[in-house]
Amino acid sequence: MSEKEITNSNINEQELFTVYIERFAYGGYGIGKLPGGKLVFVEGTYPGDLAEVEITQEKSDVAFARLKNLLEKSQYRRAPKCKYFGICGGCQMMDVKYENQLDLKTQMVKEQLRRIAKIEIEVNPTIPSDLEFGYRNKMEFAFSYNNGVVLGLKMRNSNRIVPINECPISPSSFNKALEVVPEIVEMSKARIYNPKIGTGTLKHLVMRYSHSNNQTMAIFVTKTERFEEGKFIRSELLRKAPQINSIIHVMNSSDNIVLRGPYKTLYGSGVLDVEMDYEKFQVPPTAFFQNNYHVASKMVEYVTKQLDLKGSERVLDLYAGVGTFTMRLAMLSKYVTAVESSHISGKAGKANANINNLRNVKYEEANVEEYVKAFDDEADVIVLDPPRGGAGKGVCEEILRIGPEKIAYISCDPSTLARDLAILSEKYKIVAVQPFDMFPQTYHVETVVLMERLDR
């Protein structure tokens, strides 16, 4: 079949097509065009690649394909610094030079705003991470059993576990745990949980780290409350990995969320101590904290400086967590109301306000949408840092009703950010869009958007 004869409706899934990759899309896909003009999304490709691809899925307007052969390599490419890259699903862009990763993330944010929100705006260059490797302060490893205890990460596009003994984006203390924990668990006779049939106990090892205080926390997640092997695992782990400061047992019956549920401290203080430029935090085992300490610190500084607080503002901090932004906002404004649905995070946020001697912070434990719907006070500034699903229509419409002078929206997903900005843009102009590289070696990107009310 000649190229002229190929149309959008008669692509044969067994054929190979030569595609030049022109752009990069959020989700880790290179975008090119098939003969006939249909857009094709190819995982693991980058602008400048000339690739031979096989169609895996065809829709009316786009197609998806897998890379079969790389005919010409993009100048963006480099050798990945991980022996598991391409098998493990943790990183998608480790084979891209770091400066190009930053450029691609800037383009991704701009493209999502243009495509989803129909917003054409200048996006500032992505601010880099201080650490390209070893930056993560939390990793969720899974246990499985295959002629012995296996500990690792999920295979790309699969639930199968890739056994790993080191991870370049993790601190060295995590790698030490990866090295010794499988043998310790094997010796303990702990039964490994099988999610397919629901038997066994031990599910995950979650590692957490404080870059500011050099503290490491090991969290063992079990399906049931009983964890009699925990004492043996604790003693062996402290002997073989003495750099671990806290050992926690979390009881979690859910297979959907890794880190939640009641917990017991088996060793240590049971919290991570984190210090930024002006504030201190205590982070409980199951509470959320930004995954890259150095970038989180830069974001707090950026948000509070860009808001240009004068000391008289009433601030509403939505999805406040343990107070990552709350504390600095309180230092610079009249009053902060922090809204957080998680009891653990909210309780930690109150404690963190006390630790920092802040008396102008009030924590509200509530669902954010329900809280803003009932909110009948005034707020000069609203800061929101929602989870990956974004704030959503309900919250955004209530923000429009409340009508603060300024909004700072912190997002870890540019597609849901774009969806929400389309709503907020009805009454607010975008002053700045600033991506931060919270997640080097992956396609994920954190973005801060500053907005001002149009009638100011």
Please give the positions annotated as active site. Answer: 412
Q: Which residues pair with 58 in a beta bridge?
A: 63
Between strands 138-145 and 202-210, the pairing is antiparallel
Closest CA to 339 of 297, 300, 301, 391: 391
- CA pair distance 97, 386, nearest whole angstrom: 30
Look-up of token digits 């782990």: 237
Q: Are 6 and 35 in contact (CB under 8 A)?
A: yes
- CA pair distance 200, 99, nearest whole angstrom: 45
Eight-class DSSP state of 243: T
Q: What are the helix (H) ranges across 334-445? A: 343-355, 368-374, 392-402, 414-424
- Round the CA-based radius of gyration of the chain to a whole number and report it: 24
Between strands 29-33 and 406-411, the pairing is unpaired
Run of H or E residues at 174: helix 172-188
Q: Are 219 and 205 in contact (CB under 8 A)?
A: yes
Q: Which residues pair with 359 in a beta bridge?
A: none
Look-up of token digits 């404004």: 333
Closest CA to 299 of 322, 275, 271, 328: 328
- CA pair distance 387, 393, nearest whole angstrom: 14
Q: What angle do CA 324, 327, 329 make, to 5 degrees?
A: 100
Q: How many residues belong to the chain? A: 456
Look-up of token digits 């397919």: 196
- CA pair distance 20, 183, nearest whole angstrom: 47
Helix axes 392-402 and 414-424, enclosed angle (nearest 10): 40
